[in-house]
Chain A
Amino acid sequence: MLKVRDLAIRFAGRSASEAGTLAVDGIDLDLDRAQVLALIGESGSGKSATMLALAGLLPKSAKTTGSVLLDDRSILHLDEREKSTVRGRRIGMIFQDPGGSLNPVLTVGDQIDEVVRTHRRLDRRAARAETVSLLSRVGIGDPAARARAYPHQLSGGLKQRVAIAAALAAQPTVILADEPTTALDATVQAQILDLLVNLVQVEHVALLLVTHDLAVAAAVADRIAVMYAGKIVERRGPEQLVTDPGHPYSRALGQAALPFVAAGDGRHAALPELPGRMAEAGGTACAFAPRCPLAIDRCRAQVPPVVPFGDGEAACFRAGETAQ
């Protein structure tokens, strides 16, 4: 349903002569209704740029190539008017900071009413009824009263639930969630993840979850794509990615996020650390080679192709091998 092919994003340099920065270097993604795809990677890996491109929220200075099809319609290069229909009706977004994505000077009910009325010709009372129904579907008790509250009167978890309801109000087919639980307490985090997984089934929407947390991704996703330096280096089901990672970077992520799994016997191993910094995207070698314990000469000479691995694929010459 959502089909991304060879998507590349380049941010313009400060002058016309500068090449600019390649943020995303030709990625493919596939996502169906009632499915959760997690896109994980560290800061600067290109996961947020990918999400903004799908949402059509990239600044004008960013150049995108490749194709993004939503139900066989291209949504990548649209003018403002086309965007306002495609975006809202088809794509909803949940932001990292639930406080920031809600307007502080409008009641949450008014904000959701506004979205409902933008998409359907409903009068005020019908829109409010729909809003109250949305609020109750995202697990908010006493939704009619909560609709009259301002965001600052709600807790972080409630605000994120309201943000989810606002995203659902436009009846999207795809929901993009950018680190939706990072700003929340651990217990609230689990509740919100449960809610999202549940909504994907009940509302029959597709969810693209962007996170840096492998534990979160493994808990909710049907498929996980690991991004590094603008490329997808591994694409697997959650169990296999955790227990049998193909790419050395995925292995390092797993050891950092799930140390008890890595140690194998329930003890905490020392948290591993990757030396150095992430390489620039778009080189002629494996971008991870400079930090990779398994790197061989070949890794530094050519870009490893994507090869089948386990229940998915990995882009590594030494996929599945471990150090020692």
Chain B
Amino acid sequence: MMRHWSIGGVIGAAVLAVLVLVAIAAPWLAPGDPLDIVGRPLLPPFTDPRFPLGTDQLGRNVFAGLVHGTRVSLLVGLAAAAAAIGVGILVGTVAGFLGGWTDEGLMRVTEAFQTIPTFLLALAMVSALGASTVNVVLAIAISSWPATARLVRAEILSLKSRDYVDAARLAGMSRLGIAFREVLPGAVQPVLALIGITVGVAILVESSLAFLGLSDPNQVSWGGMVANGRAVLRTAPYLVAIPGAAVAVAVLSVSLVGDAMGRRLLVSRER
């Protein structure tokens, strides 16, 4: 199994594992509310052992913000991607398998969502619904399911004319039973490769929304930290660079893992 994992995939998986551990261990790594003012403002990194990454202009611990921000970023990224992929699979399977007017209707709705850029749709939704973590997850999910739906539908279309579908029909299985138990398992493989992209985009969108101030104000978010540091960019560039790098590392690791999964599937499909 391991021989198909590329070096990039292994590095990505390792970094992702570290991020997940940090997210889980955040209360122990940096106890207390990361939004509390704990020290002198604008302390540069590596000067005070209590604040290894320094403090921002209000005297908040950057390290604590970074650690707790990991939670928000990963949670929102994964939850939004899971919801988007779930909806996409459902819509794609029903549309592809039932065909006819159901397919036409669902695909036109999918296209309607696709015509609006993911970020703009999420932005519009969060500004309308209000900035809470749940709404951010919802907005990202609603704006990013169409890709999965189209992919699943295409796979289902190519699978549903196979003999084993006829065999299942003959065996007396119901149409939805065949769609979800016989056809869908063959169609989810390419979706696995899409997970990396979906999660990566979700993390980016979450950060961007937070950067614009559209996130739960009571929770630290990397995007929010960047927005905050922007005001003192010339005197304390690390306040933008550190959370910015965190976003980049998280998205990169997720993409690398997704890419490696996609390649592995390609190998197993060619066999």
Q: Is the CB of A106 within 8 A of B167?
A: no
Q: CB within 8 Å of A: which of B164-191?
A: 164, 166-175, 177, 181-182, 185-186, 189
Query: Interface 1/0s, chain A 166-186, versus B by CB < 8 A?
Result: 110110000000000000000
B163 interface residue, CB < 8 Å from A?
yes
Q: Is the CB of A87 within 8 A of B172?
A: yes
Q: Is the CB of B171 within 8 A of A80?
A: no
B234 interface residue, CB < 8 Å from A?
no
Q: Is the CB of A95 within 8 A of B166?
A: yes
CB nearest neighbor in A for B174: A84
Minimal beta-carbon separation of B18 from chain A (angstroms): 33
Q: Is the CB of B186 within 8 A of A92?
A: no
A65 interface residue, CB < 8 Å from B?
no
Q: Is the CB of A91 within 8 A of B173?
A: no
Q: Is the CB of A170 within 8 A of B163?
A: no
- Supposing A106-B185, A114-B181 touch, asked if A101 and B167 sit within 8 A by C-beta, the answer is yes
Q: Is the CB of B164 within 8 A of A84?
A: no
Q: Is the CB of A57 within 8 A of B172?
A: no
Q: Is the CB of B170 within 8 A of A100?
A: no
Which residues on the B side are within 8 Å of A106 (C-beta)? 182, 185
A85 interface residue, CB < 8 Å from B?
yes
Which residues on the B side are within 8 Å of A57 (C-beta)? 166, 169-170
Tell me, in angstroms, the Cα distance from A152 to B268 when the chains sit together. Answer: 11
Known A100-B162, A103-B168; further 19 A-B contacts with Cβ < 8 A: A57-B166, A57-B169, A84-B173, A87-B170, A87-B172, A91-B170, A92-B171, A93-B166, A93-B167, A101-B167, A103-B164, A103-B182, A105-B186, A106-B182, A114-B168, A114-B171, A152-B271, A166-B171, A167-B167
Q: CB within 8 Å of B: which of A92-146?
A: 92-93, 95, 97, 100-106, 111, 114-115, 118-119
CB nearest neighbor in A for B184: A105
Minimal beta-carbon separation of B96 from chain A (angstroms): 16
Q: Is the CB of B170 within 8 A of A55?
A: yes
Max chain A C-beta neighbours (<10 A), residue from B163, B168, B170, B172: B170
Tell me, in angstroms, the Cα distance from A170 to B186 when the chains sit together. Answer: 24
Q: Is the CB of A118 within 8 A of B163?
A: no
Tell me, in angstroms, the Cα distance from A110 to B42 when the chains sit together. Answer: 62
A318 interface residue, CB < 8 Å from B?
no
Minimal beta-carbon separation of A161 from chain B (angstroms): 14
A3 interface residue, CB < 8 Å from B?
no
Which residues on the B side are within 8 Å of A118 (C-beta)? 171-173, 177
A-B pairs, 9 with minimum CB distance: A88-B172, A100-B163, A101-B163, A115-B171, A105-B185, A84-B172, A105-B186, A95-B163, A103-B164
Q: CB within 8 Å of B: which of A46-85?
A: 55-57, 80, 84-85
Q: Is the CB of B172 within 8 A of A97?
A: no
Tell me, in angstroms, the Cα distance from A119 to B167 when the chains sit together. Answer: 14
* 30 A-B pairs with C-beta separation under 8 A: A56-B170, A84-B169, A88-B171, A89-B172, A93-B166, A93-B167, A93-B170, A95-B163, A95-B166, A95-B167, A100-B162, A100-B163, A102-B167, A103-B168, A103-B186, A105-B186, A106-B182, A111-B164, A114-B168, A114-B173, A114-B182, A115-B171, A115-B173, A118-B172, A118-B177, A119-B171, A152-B271, A166-B167, A166-B171, A167-B167
Tell me, in angstroms, the Cα distance from A89 to B171 when the chains sit together. Answer: 7
Tell me, in angstroms, the Cα distance from A56 to B171 when the chains sit together. Answer: 12
Tell me, in angstroms, the Cα distance from A2 to B167 when the chains sit together. Answer: 20
Contact size range, B = 20 to 34
CB nearest neighbor in B for A88: B172
A163 interface residue, CB < 8 Å from B?
yes
Max chain A C-beta neighbours (<10 A), residue from B167, B182, B186: B167
Tell me, in angstroms, the Cα distance from A257 to B142 when the chains sit together. Answer: 62
Tell me, in angstroms, the Cα distance from A89 to B170 when the chains sit together. Answer: 9
Which residues on the A side are within 8 Å of B163 (C-beta)? 95, 97, 100-101
Tell me, in angstroms, the Cα distance from A115 to B181 when the chains sit together. Answer: 12
Minimal beta-carbon separation of A12 from chain B (angstroms): 17
Max chain A C-beta neighbours (<10 A), residue from B171, B172, B186: B171
Which residues on the A side are within 8 Å of B162 (C-beta)? 100
Tell me, in angstroms, the Cα distance from A166 to B170 when the chains sit together. Answer: 11
Which residues on the B side are within 8 Å of A166 (C-beta)? 167, 171
CB nearest neighbor in A for B268: A152
Q: Is the CB of A100 within 8 A of B173?
A: no
Tell me, in angstroms, the Cα distance from A97 to B166 when the chains sit together. Answer: 13
Which residues on the B side are within 8 Å of A80 (C-beta)? 175
- Of A101, A104, A119, A167, which is within 8 A of B172 by CB? A119
Q: Is the CB of B171 within 8 A of A170?
A: yes
Minimal beta-carbon separation of B157 from chain A (angstroms): 16
Minimal beta-carbon separation of A62 from chain B (angstroms): 15
Tell me, in angstroms, the Cα distance from A97 to B167 when the chains sit together. Answer: 12
Tell me, in angstroms, the Cα distance from A85 to B172 when the chains sit together. Answer: 6
Which residues on the A side are within 8 Å of B271 (C-beta)? 152
Query: Interface 1/0s, chain B 139-165, versus A by CB < 8 A?
Result: 000000000000000000000001110
Q: Is the CB of A104 within 8 A of B186?
A: yes
Q: Is the CB of A92 within 8 A of B170?
A: yes
Minimal beta-carbon separation of A206 from chain B (angstroms): 15
Tell me, in angstroms, the Cα distance from A91 to B182 when the chains sit together. Answer: 20
Tell me, in angstroms, the Cα distance from A100 to B182 when the chains sit together. Answer: 13
Which residues on the A side are within 8 Å of B172 (C-beta)? 84-85, 87-89, 115, 118-119, 170
Which residues on the B side are within 8 Å of A102 (C-beta)? 164, 167
